[in-house]
Amino acid sequence: MINNILPVIGILVTAIGIPILYLQLRDLKASLRSSTHASIYTQAEAIRGYLIQYPELRKYFFDNTNISPSNTDYSRVLSIAEVYLNYLEQIAVLENSLGKENKASLIQFTGIAIEKSPILQQHLKNNAALYSSTLHKMVEKAKDYTKKQSGNKTIKEINLTMSNYITQSEKMDWKPLLEEGVDTNGIFIKVLHFDKATNRPPIFLLKFEAGASYPYHNHPAGEEAFVLEGEAYFNEHKLTKGDFLFTPPNFKHSVKTDTGCIILFKVPEEVEIVRK
């Protein structure tokens, strides 16, 4: 009789053991996910701590602002970039542990983080071998996601987006052009586009009152000028309404007017005043 009971007991033990094992595995999975969250949260807090301590550096990670290696903050920004990329890599590597329901959001977050920060883009590109293929793939997925989302925009959404980039110059007031050490008497400006990356306006309107002039200067990256009203002399060359001037890089000239004028300028880089 005992021999008949033993197989039944074995089946019962197995039947009871399987649910227990399932519960143990579920708890282990939850524990691993909780541990993963804690690890990622710790790195996020470290980045947050840096940017709270140095709020002036936020623009290099969230405002698409470039930083030159000659900048005194460059080493600190680079160090934060390394921590930031390690954080993004951990998200990429542990993506599956964070839940399928979060996958699309994580890809989008990674893409936005890289897109908004030139220093992250540069460091990832220059040190590609130091980061896992998983992170590189996630960045590419993010780019594809962004393209897909852009392609799905309605005409209304595109028009709303475009409205953010329209400058209504007629509604703007002329402001005196102020440059340290430069005589800009009688010159007024309307900024049409301000570039946050270089912290200067590359495209603007200048209004010269009669007799105003801008001193002899060099254009390291060239210049484009279109006369909208009046007339002006670029060196000895007279330009009148409708005339366009393309100035190649490192060409020098002064600007003056007898009658007054309004000129549209595109100046990619800051000019250099030439003292004669």
Average pLDDT over residues 242-263: 96
CATH class, range 170-273: mainly beta
| Continuous segment of H or E residues that includes residue 12 | helix 2-53
- At 156 the pLDDT is 62
- At 152 the pLDDT is 59
Cβ neighbours around 27 below 10 Å, total: 10
Q: What does the DSSP assignment read for 14-26?
A: HHHHHHHHHHHHH
Report the SS3 class of residue 191. strand
**Using one digit for the tens of pLDDT, what is the confidence trace for 94-152?**
766 666 777 777 778 888 888 888 999 998 889 988 888 888 888 887 777 666 655 55
Residue at token pair 């309605």: 154
| Continuous segment of H or E residues that includes residue 244 | strand 244-247
- At 116 the pLDDT is 87
User: In whole angstroms, what is the distance from residue 187 CA to residue 50 CA?
Assistant: 43
94 contacts: CB under 8 Å, gap ≥ 6: 36, 39, 40
Inform me whether the pLDDT recorded for 18 exceeds 50: no
Identity of the amino acid at 73: D
**Using one digit for the tens of pLDDT, what is the confidence trace for 172-188?**
999 999 999 999 999 99
Residue 79: closest CA among 67, 91, 96, 94: 67
- How is the chain split into domains, by residue range? 2-150, 170-273
